[in-house]
Structure 1
Amino acid sequence: MNFDYFWLFRSLPAVIIGLTVHELAHAYTAYKLGDMTAKNDGRLTLNPLKHIDPLGFILIVIAGFGWAKPVSFNPDNLKNKHRDEILISLAGPFSNFLLAILFLIVARGLYFFPYFSGTEVGLATINLLILWSVINFGLFIFNLIPIPPLDGSHIYMTFLKETNPKLLQNMYKYGTLGLLLIILIQSNTKIEILPLGPLIRGITNVFISILQFK
């Protein structure tokens, strides 16, 4: 397998930051909604070692996809189970969305300094921040895919717990396998089952235009 070590070196910090903030957002939202499980598990922290799953991280390095350590919560501690479970699930992806915008804002702000706007090293720093933004927009869009076990599936999966638990179990089982199959196909062929690339480029270009990058 041929690795682009330079791209890996540049992108891994964004992946680590993105996954850490993502899982912290899940944990903090659950905590604010009344559940102490994540707090008791030590997940209310920016320490990436508390959030990174070793196997999932290795797969990110060698295959370009993977996962972090899921945040646990007890639905029985939530006041409004359906609503609060959805809020907890969506908190992760939207934290990546905000982080992506933050990286772009910092990159745009650096343009005001001659060192960054007029030197090769400075422009490389700005481009690195834009890359980190793209990665986090990618985490945002990817996790909103409504396929189990991704966060987007919880918009409807939370209701299946009571209405059809057997269907819920099957969707988790086959949804995970299906998702891995889709990722493998897209990673190794030119077939794009899920148009993630165009969506990520589109949302990035929208905010680059808003911030008026030159």
Structure 2
Amino acid sequence: MLYALGDPVSLVLLLLSFVVAVTLHGWVQCLVASRSGLRGPAAEGRTRPDPRRHVDPFGAVSAAIAGIGWAKPVDPPDRRNRGALLRVLLSGAVANVVVGLGALALLPLLTSSVGSLVTFLGPSRLLQSGIEGDLAARALLFLGLANLMTGLLSLVPIPPLDGGRLLFGLAPRSPGWQKAEYQLDERNIGVAVLLALMLIPLGGPQALLPTILDTLAGPLVRLVTGA
């Protein structure tokens, strides 16, 4: 987002899109968690779509620099209830991807160039720096990409992301797994690893994780836009 400082309209649209995406992600997760018997989300006021309850500071830093971030984590259910564990930890990603692809599917009604833009620049680059053009088309594009990329990022198996918590929730409770979970989640080493993968270029102009996410998102964008 910070690369869009020279284009205030894009900057505002990118910021709003990120806030909507992470709020949707956290809100849906907390609703599912609450209905699965967890009391924490309701006690923390997270069963309402209030951005202040769902924006994660480290995820916001990642979004500001790399264009993609994550929502505040939700404490998962007990690992013995695998059904609830899967529902809670995957619900946010599903909501993001559905909303993201739905928004992108409407884009051809407003512009015919979205497929070539995404192919040429990549979703993460668009979310980093924005583009000029029709206001409605940009708003829909940023909203769709922010949701899609937030959903895909959340599945990366590194705590505190949902994919990481799901991995350790399903893993054996051996000392090695427990030690790894403690280091990555409780000591925030996972956050440091994520920020490094999101922000530090490795042998190219773009960091590793945005490159991987672009590779996954590109075909989905082209599929729903008919590009």
TM-score range (shorter-chain normalised) is 0.7 to 0.9
Higher Cα Rg, which structure: 1
What is the aligned partner in structure 1 of residue 27 from structure 2?
24
> Which one of the candidate residues 150, 165, 181 is aligned to 1:168?
181
> Which one of the candidate residues 184, 208, 214 is aligned to 2:199?
184
Deviation per CA, 1:77-114, whole angstroms, max 9, x where unpaired? x8x52331222111111111011023234445668xxx
Q: State the TM-score, normalizing by the size of structure 1.
A: 0.76
Deviation per CA, 1:115-145, whole angstroms, max 9, x where unpaired? xxxxxxx954124302321121111111111
- Specify every segment of 5 or more residues in structure 1 that has no aligned partner in the other structure, as ranges: 112-121
> Please, what is the CA RMSD of the aligned residues?
3.1
Distance change in 2, residues 1:129/1:65 (3 Å): closer
What is the aligned partner in structure 2 of residue 117 from structure 1?
none
What is the aligned partner in structure 1 of residue 90 from structure 2?
90
**Within the alignment, does 1:140 sit opposite 2:151 as a pair?**
yes
SS of 1:3 mapped into structure 2: helix
**Within the alignment, does 1:41 sit opposite 2:44 as a pair?**
yes
> Which one of the candidate residues 201, 204, 207 is aligned to 2:218?
201
1:35, distance to aligned residue in structure 2 (A): 1.5
Percent identical = 25
Residues 27 and 47 of structure 2 are in contact (CA less than 8 Å); yes or no, is this contact kept in structure 1? Answer: yes
SS of 1:126 mapped into structure 2: helix
What is the aligned partner in structure 1 of residue 128 from structure 2?
none
What is the aligned partner in structure 2 of residue 155 from structure 1?
166
**Within the alignment, does 1:126 sit opposite 2:137 as a pair?**
yes
1:41, distance to aligned residue in structure 2 (A): 1.4
Q: State the TM-score, normalizing by the size of structure 2.
A: 0.72
Deviation per CA, 1:185-211, whole angstroms, max 9, x where unpaired? 1399515423222222221111112xx
1:160, distance to aligned residue in structure 2 (A): 3.6
What is the aligned partner in structure 2 of residue 12 from structure 1?
15
Residues 96 and 150 of structure 2 are in contact (CA less than 8 Å); yes or no, is this contact kept in structure 1? Answer: yes
Q: Number of matched residues?
A: 197
